[in-house]
Chains A and B, each alone.
Chain A
Amino acid sequence: MSTTQPPTSEPPPTRLATGAPDSARSAQTGIFGRIRAALDSDLAFEFFHSPVAIFAALMVLIILSAAMLAPWIAPHDPFNPATLNLMDGFSRPMVANQFTGTTFLLGTDDQGRDVFSAILYGARISLFVGFAAVAFGMVLGVGLGLLAGYRGGWVDAVIMRIADVQLSFPSILVALLIYGVARGFIPPTAREAAAMWVLILAIGLSDWVQFARTVRGVVLVEKEKEYVQAAKLIGVGQLRIMVAHILPNTLGPVLVIATIGLALAIIAEATLSFLGVGVPPTQPSLGTLIRIGQGFLFSGEWWILLFPALTLLALALSVNILGDWLRDALNPRLR
């Protein structure tokens, strides 16, 4: 019904701008101009005034940098059998070992591996798998969502039914399934090397649905908007419209889902490793460490389980909090 629309001349004052808000500032191009403009935006303002967001971001940053710098800051190399001394085994945290006299910050496990170093390397694996899996799921999901939303018709129907079917299974089961199938295709000799990539594939494939559905929803709205019609009018091709016009408008929700998805991917990886079907034992992630530690929990060596578990908790929780904050901050209605 095309009747008179209420005249509007200004966007409402509570709208949150993530781009450059003011004329003088946005006129600055170049990298410094853009960074300055970004720091000046409403989103940055919200961030710096939210203690929860700052805390979560710091936590993530600390764990991330520690993990990346692991080869340099880890006091021991926990995976080189040559450096391990069985007599170091079961050392308590911060207590000198009764046999060798070495003190380990967070203790050692049954093999004499330093728990602190193991956590650093483990976090590295966990984060790597997490990021890679989310990236894979995001590319796949966003691509399929764009296609489904823009093309509509049977393309949309097929993609969405596949998504629905997949959603009716728990994602861990889906990951297990994909993992098992993939392993069946890979010759035994290559299995260990490929294990990490199979894991990334499995988690990513179980994750794409979220992205696809959200992007499809945004695309359905955006493609009716007049700027898309204007592009069609001058004959811009479908692919270009999807990628150059509509895709940038989906990035807000995608960013939120990616952040929360990262937390979920890290936990998924930990779960799979805990179950023994994740990363190989030569590259233990936090989940593997938890599995190892679980065996010793009730015989008194609590530190082998507790510290990796706490690290995993801190990591997943911080990423989750950041994702939640981002979603609320980008939502123009919630003030």
Chain B
Amino acid sequence: MSEALVTVNALSHEFDISKPWLNRVLEGEGRQVVKAVSDVSLSIPRGQTFGLVGESGCGKSTIARLMVGLMPPSSGQVRFDGVEVGGIGWADQRRRVQMIFQDPFASLNPRWRIQWILAEPIRTFALLKDGAAISERVGELLRLVGLDPLDGQKYPHEFSGGQRQRIAIARALASEPDFIVCDEPTSALDVSVQAQVLNLMRELQQRLGLTYLLISHDLAVVRHMSDLIGVMYLGRLVEVAAKKHLFEAPAHPYTRLLLDAVPDVEILDRPEAAGRRTAISGEIPSPIDPPSGCAFHPRCPLRFAPCDTQRPDLAEHDGAQVACHALNAK
């Protein structure tokens, strides 16, 4: 097990969604905050992929932005290779952290040619100075992701969604990073294109020794790509386990619910499971007004006394880390 490249410590972030001051005064309302991320701690070993999975409102996109320094957290910290993100010495390390976004249509500037898009990180970090050297490097990057160097002359709208994601990957690689945060990189793509992009990402990881944080709502994708997996619910981390362990012996009730609930092609091979799905109750509550204590307690089959007043912490349970009173009590 390699040492941790990225560590997250008690990370929390709130969004102030209060109405403007005048409205508040006139309507007599107080401030309203959404706790998007609540006390999350994890560590990502070098060269591996950490998969963060969860549904809407779980805060995974917020975590993505906090990890790369796009926003300062309300509290807690993210450390990259010992340096605090956004703290002293971060400017030098910035180059080594990159991100791939979800929407292939919005992540490339429609008015810029591909070569300018790919050259921007190189120029900003002054990795190369000479124009010809930069052009060559851009060509190299395009080849690396399976595109033609001549594609550098084109505009983003001339490419399909899958190709644009490849360009986004090339842009992320342009700064020669060590750590890439991938925010739902294939959610907007067709399944066959998704396969191409995921295979490419794995190949690049092996070739260049990259570390990934992969964020997705798709459990199957996370399974395919990750070594370690964290499950999030309403801003909190409820389970962290190695891949095999999570899928073969899911511990937290929410993880089990999620695994059971996914519309699955393989249901045909398990006709007995079709009739006996765990009774799925309720939906995700609004993050503005989360339930007290353990956020999952209204929907949990294992719920008992402490669950609606006390928030459970991540604790060791059978080879994984689980935040559940019922499991940790044993």
Residues of B within 8 A of A235 (CB): 91, 94, 124
Counting chain B residues whose Cβ lies within 8 A of the other chain, the interface size class is: 35 or more
- Contact partner of B108 among A27, A29, A227, A236, CB < 8 A? A227
Binds A, one of B95-103, B200-208, B317-325: B95-103
Tell me the A19-41 residues at the B interface (CB within 8 Å).
19-23, 26-27, 29
A305 CB, min distance to chain B CBs, angstroms = 47
B110 touches A249 (CB 8 A): yes
Q: A168 at the A/B interface (Cβ < 8 Å)?
A: no
> Complex formed: what's the CA distance from A6 to B155 in Å?
23
Q: Are A5 and B102 in contact (CB under 8 A)?
A: yes
Quote the shortest CB–CB distance from B221 to chain A (angstroms): 11
A115 to B88, CA, bound (A): 74
**A11 is an interface residue with CB less than 8 A from chain B:** yes
Q: Is the CB of B155 within 8 A of A1?
A: no
Could you tell me the distance in whole angstroms from the C-beta of B88 to the nearest C-beta in chain A?
15
Would A27 and B153 count as touching, CB distance under 8 A? yes
Contact A233 B68 (CB under 8 A): yes
Q: Is A73 an interface residue (CB 8 A)?
A: no
Q: In the complex the two chains form, what is the Cα distance from A235 to B95 in whole Å?
A: 9
Asked whether any CB of chain A lies closer than 8 Å to the CB of B9, the reply is: no
Of B57, B120, B161, the contact of A234 (CB 8 Å cutoff): B120
- Docked pose: A232 CA to B124 CA in angstroms: 11
Q: By the criterion CB–CB under 8 Å, are B121 and A234 in contact?
A: yes
Chain A residues within an 8 Å CB radius of B190: 7, 9
CA A5 to CA B95, docked complex, whole Å? 30
Contact B157 A26 (CB under 8 A): no
Residues of A within 8 A of B99 (CB): 229-230, 233
Are B106 and A29 touching (Cβ within 8 A)? no
Task: Name which of B181-189, B253-261, B274-282, B291-299 contacts chain A.
Answer: B181-189
CB neighbours of B155 from chain A (8 A): 19-20, 26
Are A7's CB and B94's CB within 8 A? no
Which residue of the partner chain, among B61, B91, B95, B191, contacts A2 with CB atoms under 8 Å?
B61
Tell me, in angstroms, the Cα distance from A22 to B158 when the chains sit together: 7
In the bound complex, how far is the Cα of B57 from the Cα of A19, in angstroms? 39
Please indicate the chain B residues that have their CB under 8 angstroms from the CB of A8 in the complex: 105, 161, 188
Q: State whether A4 and B150 are in contact (beta carbons under 8 Å apart), knowing that A19-B157, A227-B109, A233-B68 are contacts in the complex.
A: no
Contact between chains at B153 and A29 (CB < 8 Å): yes
Task: Give bound CA distance, A3 to B188, whole Å.
Answer: 10
Contact in complex: B109, A234 (CB < 8 Å):
no
Q: Is A188 an interface residue (CB 8 A)?
A: no
Could you pull out 12 A-B pairs where Cβ atoms are within 8 angstroms?
A2-B56, A2-B217, A4-B217, A7-B189, A7-B193, A11-B157, A15-B157, A22-B158, A27-B150, A229-B70, A234-B175, A249-B109
| A-B pairs, 10 with minimum CB distance | A248-B111, A226-B107, A226-B101, A225-B106, A1-B56, A227-B109, A9-B161, A27-B153, A7-B190, A5-B188
- Other 9 A-B pairs with CB < 8 A, given A3-B55, A26-B155, A233-B69: A1-B56, A2-B56, A2-B102, A4-B217, A9-B161, A227-B107, A227-B108, A234-B121, A234-B175
* Residue ranges of B at the interface with A (Cβ–Cβ < 8 Å): 55-57, 60-61, 65, 68-70, 91, 94-95, 98-99, 101-103, 105-112, 117, 120-121, 124-125, 150, 153-155, 157-158, 160-162, 168, 171, 175, 184, 187-191, 193, 217-218
